[in-house]
Chains A and B, each alone.
Chain A
Amino acid sequence: MTILLFAALILYFIATALQFTGVAVRKGQGPLCPAARAALIAAFVLHTAYTVWRGIAAGRLPLSNQFEFASGFAWAAALMGFLLYLRLRSQPVLTVTMPAAFLILSYAALQPQDIRELMPALRSAWFAIHIGSAAFSYAAFAIAGGLGIAYLVRLRKAGGTDEKPPEEDPRLRQLDSLGYRMICLGFLLLTVVIFSGAIWAEQAWSSWWSWDPKETWALITWIFYAIYLHQRLRLKWHGKRTAILAIVALALVLFTFAGVNLLLPGLHSYK
């Protein structure tokens, strides 16, 4: 069944290539972008089928190790990006979703994929809430970070004139607004991740907070996004500055996700 996963990976790549070509060469018009969407849907269906198969084969939610979580993260990004596209019909959302899903699933494909029995410490009702909300939270932040990159690229291309500064471009405003909305959603979900993890830790380890590297980096990420939200809502930061903040914050998310596991072992190092 691993063939499903690799087929999904290839289709995510094809979708990314078609979308980038369609946007760069044809300005989003013509058949390339619809073809990219079709490839994305096909990739998502195969990815979902693989995830369901793995869940049935393992007899549990397939989110218990780095491979499964990364796969779930990519799946959540594809789902959220596509739902957002359906609601807003915004091409930039797909332009950042497709490479995000492809890159995250590529990282997953590099991890050991053997199915193991769930270790006793992970057998809890909080498992699904904690890890599931983490996957969707990270996906929202990944899309927001991608939109930040898209904003800076478009800003550079737009240049701007005296009559119409680039920030006044409605497409730039849409990218800025979408990025903010994804961060709001991701922040709410990250809060759920931290609190559900705290309640679970109290049940498993007797203490709701241990300053474990994963906990500490989740807190660093949460505080950084809190700073972003304050800068935006109270100091009215927007545009280039918030785009840069969203990209830096995404780097923190990625370190919390992968870097901590690799470099800072702690209570969350489940092997």
Chain B
Amino acid sequence: MPFLKKIFRFLRSMVFGMILLGLIILCCLAGSLIPQGESEMTYVRQYGSGTAMLFLSLGFTDIFHTWYFTVLEALLCGNLILCSILRFPAARKTMAGLKAQAEHADPAQEHPLEPGGAETVLAALKRARFRGNDRILTRNGIGACGSFLVHLSILVILLFGTLTLTTPVTQDVTVMPGETFTLADGTTVTCLSFRIQDETGRLDYASRIRVASPGEETGAEAEIRVNEPLRHGGTKVYQYTYGTKPVIRVTNTASGAEESFYVDAGDFLSIDGRNGLIFDALHPGYILNEDGTYTLITSSAMSYADPVYDVRTVSDGSITSVLAFPGETITIGDIGYTMADPVEYPGLRIKQTAPVLYAGLYFGFGLMIAALFLCFFMVPACARVEENGFVIRSAKPQDALLDEIAIALDGTDKKGDAP
């Protein structure tokens, strides 16, 4: 089957690997230049209907999750396995190959030595970390594994990276201070407190969180903030966002009963269903104009420095809009509605995943950095020293080493300022 052999040879070739990398670059370019994951209308508005439809049909609007990007990644994995990993035995023979080359070279012709010079060269080579017998010396033999380990680490990263991106169960939840959220597996996440600023007034979104696995009484408790999530078993809780919730305290002046409510826009607080208070909005603050009137700040991106409640009273069929500050009470019949201080709360991201997957991913990261170091800075070399000369064989030029030997031999530096 020469045709199949040809195809197999191409699939395991470096050229095929380079083609795959080139195609991945093209996908990345498209994925970074075309906004990803937007609605269809957004693309139609931005590019016109023809181009938008083309992008949508080709999957350019979510390119990193298309079948062809997945196929590219799978082919790259296959190429890495066939091209590099299965060739590891060849890498192990690198040093043997260098030794054979050194054995077949003619030292007297390449780097001739004066009588007695061999001892000096040997001493210089040993200073340069060459080890071996008196004739054949080698260094950085481990560097021959560098290329293999780099490719192996890419495979480890692709495998564990895919698993860590696809398997976790992630959900974003809002947990008011003092409340508990229960996950599907019974794990509980309790928010004990939340603050936006630290003691010095510096922005520092921090929540005190307790996480307990099913059946566990105490669990783990810690203050989380951006960059400092809480990990407990396979559950990780992140300080993800925050918000401000308006609170209205309702008091029945007749009975003395009192209850506080977190309210959302449009909520109608009423006892009899006819009279009561409609909550419309909480504004972060206001600006006092020169003429004594107020202009409300409506941007929710602001901190709620001087909050203003925007409500409507409903009394005997008439509706009246009212602005109220925290502490103010609006009375409708026997019911008092007191605007309380708004409560700041955290938005938490809860992720459940197997910690071993991240261990595998981080192992891949460490392995690649170590392997690249081996590749670039631990280049295998072999030297053969005879009485009449010496040779050095390596995959890369050894100019610096030759200079050191030259200095040792005659005490002069061959290097000068080169223009």
Interface, chain A (partner B; CB < 8 A): 23, 27-29, 33, 88-92, 117, 119-121, 123-124, 126, 171, 174, 177, 184-185, 187-188, 191-192, 195, 198-200, 202-209, 211, 213, 216-217, 219-220, 223-224, 226-227, 230-231, 233-235, 260, 264
CA distance A254 to B98 in the complex (A): 40
Main secondary structure of the interface of B (DSSP, over half): helix
Q: In whole angstroms, what is the CA distance A264 to B31 when docked?
A: 11
CB pair A209–B32 under 8 Å, yes or no, is no
Asked if A220 and B165 sit within 8 Å, CB to CB, the answer is no
- Give Cα A101–Cα B22 distance, bound, in whole angstroms: 31
Chain A residue at smallest Cβ distance from B154: A226
Contact B418 A230 (CB under 8 A): no
* A203: chain B residues within 8 A (beta carbon): 227-229
- Are B203 and A216 neighbours in the complex by a CB distance under 8 Å? no
Which of A89, A124, A206 has the most B CB atoms < 10 Å from its CB? A206
| Residue in A closest to B205 when the chains form the complex, CB atoms | A120
Task: Report whether B351 and A206 are in contact in the complex, using a CB–CB cutoff of 8 Å.
Answer: yes
B-side contacts of A126, CB under 8 Å: 227
Nearest CB in chain B: distance from A86 CB, A: 11
Q: How far is the CA of A271 from the CA of B384 in the complex (A)?
A: 60
Q: With A120-B203, A203-B228 given, is the CB distance from A188 to B373 under 8 Å? A: yes
How far apart are the CA atoms of A251 and B37 in the complex, in Å?
A: 28
| Closest-CB distance, B357 to chain A (whole angstroms) | 11
Which of A177, A200, A207, A217 is within 8 Å of B397, CB to CB? A177
Q: How far is the CA of A198 from the CA of B164 in the complex (A)?
A: 12
Instruction: Please indicate which of the listed interface residues B31, B33, B372 has the most CB atoms of chain A within 10 Å of its own CB.
Output: B372
**Cβ distance A213 to chain B, nearest Cβ, rounded Å:** 5
CB distance from B243 to the nearest CB of A (A): 16
CB distance from A78 to the nearest CB of B (A): 19
Complex contacts, A198 vs chain B, CB 8 Å:
365
Query: Contacts A195-B365, A223-B21 hold; do A171 and B418 have CB atoms under 8 A apart?
Result: yes
Given contacts A89-B415, A204-B226, contact A188 B165 (CB under 8 A): no
Q: Which of B31, B226, B368 contacts A211 (CB 8 A)?
A: B31
Enumerate chain B residues within 8 angstroms of A233, measured Cβ to Cβ: 395
Cα separation A33 to B419 with both chains bound (whole Å): 10
B368 touches which of A29, A191, A199, A216 (Cβ 8 Å): A191
A179 to chain B, nearest CB (A): 13
Residues on A with beta carbons closer than 8 Å to the beta carbon of B203? 117, 119-120
Instruction: Give the number of A-B contacts (CB < 8 Å).
Output: 115
Chain A residues with Cβ below 8 Å from B238 are 204-206
In the bound complex, residues from chain B placing their C-beta under 8 Å from that of A260 are: 32
Q: A124 contacts B227, CB within 8 Å?
A: yes
State whether B368 touches A121 (Cβ < 8 A). Answer: no
A259 to chain B, nearest CB (A): 10
Is there an interface contact between B419 and A23, defined as CB atoms closer than 8 Å? yes
In this complex, the member of B228, B373, B419 whose beta carbon has the largest number of chain A beta carbons within 10 angstroms is B419
In whole angstroms, how far apart are the Cα atoms of A213 and B202 in the complex? 30
Contacts of A174 in B (CB 8 A): 418
11 contacts across the A-B interface (CB closer than 8 A): A29-B419, A92-B418, A119-B203, A126-B227, A200-B227, A203-B229, A206-B238, A208-B165, A209-B165, A213-B32, A231-B18
Inter-chain contact B369/A188, CB cutoff 8 Å:
yes
**B28–A220 contact, CB under 8 A?**
yes
B245: interface (CB < 8 Å) = no
**Bound form: Cα–Cα A195–B365 in Å:** 6
Q: Do A227 and B64 touch across chains, with their CB atoms under 8 A apart?
A: no
**Residues of B bordering A, CB below 8 Å:** 14, 17-18, 21-22, 24-25, 28-29, 31-33, 36, 64, 161, 164-165, 170, 202-205, 225-229, 236, 238, 240, 349, 351, 358, 361-362, 365, 368-369, 372-373, 375-377, 395, 397, 399, 415-419
B419 to A220, Cβ gap below 8 A? no
Q: Which of B21, B22, B417 contacts A28 (CB 8 A)?
A: B417
In the assembled complex, the Cα of A268 lies from the Cα of B97 at a distance in Å of: 48
A264→B32 CA distance, assembly (Å): 8
Q: Give complex CA distance A135, B135 in Å.
A: 45
Q: Nearest A residue to B368 by beta-carbon distance?
A: A191
User: Complex formed: what's the CA distance from A207 to B416 in Å?
Assistant: 52
In the complex, what residues of B have CB within 8 A of residue A209's CB? 161, 165
Asked if residues B227 and A204 are in contact (CB atoms below 8 Å), the reply is yes
Please state if A224 and B369 are interface contacts (CB–CB under 8 Å): no
6 other A-B residue contacts (CB within 8 Å) besides A28-B418, A120-B205, A188-B372: A28-B419, A117-B203, A126-B227, A185-B376, A203-B227, A208-B161
How far, in whole Å, are A213 and B36 apart by their CA atoms in the complex?
Answer: 10
Give the residue name and chain of the A residue nearest to B236 (CB): A206
Nearest to A216 among chain B residues (CB) is B32
Separation in Å of the B402 CB from the closest CB of chain A?
13
* Given A177-B397, A203-B227, also A227-B18 (CB < 8 A): yes
* Residue of B29, B226, B349 touching A120 (CB-CB under 8 A): B226
Q: Which residues of A contact B361 (CB under 8 A)?
A: 208
Q: How far is the CA of A184 from the CA of B377 in the complex (A)?
A: 9
Sorted nearest first, the 9 A-B pairs with minimum C-beta distance are: A28-B419, A184-B376, A195-B365, A124-B227, A216-B32, A120-B226, A213-B32, A188-B372, A89-B417
Contacts of A28 in B (CB 8 A): 417-419
**A248 to B: closest C-beta gap in Å:** 12
Given A120-B203, A120-B205, A91 and B419 touching (CB < 8 A)?
Answer: yes
Question: What distance in Å separates the Cβ of B60 from its nearest Cβ neighbour in chain A?
Answer: 13
Which partner residue on chain A sits nearest B37 by CB separation?
A: A211
B204→A216 contact, CB < 8 A:
no
Residues of A within 8 A of B24 (CB): 223
Which B residues are in CB contact (< 8 Å) with A120? Answer: 203-205, 225-227
B376 A188 Cβ-Cβ under 8 A: yes
| Chain A residues with CB below 8 A from B377, complex form | 184
The CA-CA distance from A119 to B202 in the complex, in Å, is 9
The reply to whether A206 and B349 form a contact with Cβ atoms under 8 Å apart is: yes
